[in-house]
Amino acid sequence: MKAIMTRRLLFAFTLILFASAISNAQQGARGQEPPIVRQDPKTLRRDAHGRPDLTGMWNIQYTPDISTAVPGGKIPFTPYGQQRWKDVDTAKDPTGFCLPVGPSRAFTSPFPVYFLQTPNVIGALFEYQTIWRMFYIGGKHPDDMGAYAAEFMGHSTAEWQGDILVVDTIGIAERSWLDTAGHEHSDKLHLTERFEKINDDTIQYTVTYEDPVFFSEPFSITRHMRRGAAKDRILPYTCTENNVDTDHLVPSKREQ
State pLDDT tens for residues 167-213. 999 999 999 999 999 999 999 999 999 999 999 999 999 999 999 99
Query: What's the predicted TM-score (pTM) here?
Result: 0.82
Question: N- to C-terminal Cα distance for the chain?
Answer: 74
Query: What's the pLDDT at 145?
Result: 75
Mean pLDDT rounded to a whole number for the chain? 86
Question: What pLDDT was estimated at residue 8?
Answer: 41
Q: Please give the pLDDT value at position 249.
A: 63
Q: Tens digit of pLDDT for each residue in 94-105?
A: 998 899 999 999
Q: Is the pLDDT of residue 91 over 60?
A: yes
Task: Outline where the chain has alpha helix (H).
Answer: 2-29, 79-87, 103-106
- Mean pLDDT within 110-121: 97
pLDDT of 13 strictly over 80: no
What are the sequence ranges of the domains in the chain?
43-248
Q: What is the DSSP string of 31-50?
A: TPPPPP-PPPGGGS-B-TTS
> Taking a C-beta distance cutoff of 8 angstroms, is the pair 184, 196 a contact?
no
CATH number of 43-248: 2.40.128.20
Question: pLDDT at residue 5 above 60?
Answer: no
Beta-strand pair 164-170/190-199: antiparallel
Q: Is the pLDDT of residue 127 over 70?
A: yes
- pLDDT higher at 182 or 14: 182
The burial class, CB within 10 Å (0-12 / 13-18 / 19+), for 191 is: buried
